[in-house]
Amino acid sequence: MSAARTTSLTGRCECGSVRFEVTGPLRKVVFCHCGQCRRTSGHYVAATACATGDLQTVADEGLRWYRSSEFAERGFCGTCGSSLFWRPDHGKHLSIMAGAFDVPTGLSSREHIHVDDASDYYDICDGLPQYPQFHDDLWEDNEA
């Protein structure tokens, strides 16, 4: 995974029962419009990603995991309900909801995925690339 951001960042859920730190490279933010992301977040999701070993939980008493598909699970705070992580079973990387990071993040946006599943109450008009579904090179950063 190419680095979009490589310095240490911290983040947390709304109530602070889950706090984390990322010390490695982060992918640019991807906006996912799939039905699962919309239902678990209340809107589409904005997420970055890191290598699994680059995320350390500082506090995890509220952290809960939900098996959301046959290949991944979602991490959230069982106390306040904040959506925090998406973890595929292969364990190579972990997606982190961009809004969970403390600011400033230094992150930038990359693209939209699953736009064929986007809801009808909003338009995507920010000029970023749009993909109908997931694509294989999602975890590689495209600096262009």
pLDDT score at 6: 57
The per-residue pLDDT for range 17-58, each reduced to its tens digit, is 999 999 999 999 999 999 999 999 999 999 999 999 999 999
| Contact predicate 80/14, CB 8 Å | yes
Cα(first)–Cα(last) distance of the chain, in Å? 15
- Please write down the HEC assignment for all residues of the chain: CCCCECCCEEEECCCCCEEEEECCCECCEEEECCHHHHHHHCCCEEEEEEEHHHEEEEEECCEEEEECCCCEEEEEECCCCCEEEEEECCCCEEEEEHHHECCCCCCCEEEEECHHHCCCCCCCCCCCCECCCCCHHHHCCCCC
pLDDT above 90: percentage of residues in the chain: 88
Q: Which domains does the chain have, with CATH numbers?
A: 9-120 (2.170.150.70)
The per-residue pLDDT for range 97-142, each reduced to its tens digit, is 999 999 999 999 999 999 999 999 999 999 999 999 987 676 665 4
